[in-house]
Amino acid sequence: AQSVAQPEDQVNVAEGNPLTVKCTYSVSGNPYLFWYVQYPNRGLQFLLKYITGDNLVKGSYGFEAEFNKSQTSFHLKKPSALVSDSALYFCAVRAPRDSWGKLQFGAGTQVVVTP
């Protein structure tokens, strides 16, 4: 069975500092990996995904993520955080043999960026 772990409930960072949100996964085969962000009282917005190819994936709003197969990780990063990046971030995995697009989500990590 596939699973996703986000080991940190909350990440606190000062504006201008680098931001990292961790994600590890467990799935057979080569997974499809996604990051979504949820602002208060809003739906989930897609940030970026990894399907195949280059291990460093660039996405929306200056975010990027690095796929590491040996460590089964897909950490989200931003070189310089903004106060507006404060939100709930979800990592999700789709099994490669899943033809129905079903996503398994992590529990989410709350990011708090202070001025």
Interface residues with another protein (CB under 8 A)?
Answer: 4, 9, 32, 34, 36, 41-46, 49, 51, 90, 92, 94, 99-103, 105-108
* Shortest CB 65 distance to another protein, Å: 13
Nearer to another protein, 15 or 88 (CB): 88
The torsion angles phi and psi of 50, rounded to 5 degrees, stand at -120, 125
What Å distances lie between residue 5 and 14, 81, 82, 90, 109, CA to CA?
Answer: 24, 23, 25, 10, 10
Least Å distance, CB 17 to another protein, is 26
**How far apart (Å, rounded) are the C-alpha atoms in residues 19 and 113?**
9
For another protein, give the closer residue by CB, 82 or 103.
103
* CB of 102 vs another protein, minimal distance in Å: 6
Q: How many helices (H) and strands (E) does the chain have?
A: 0, 12
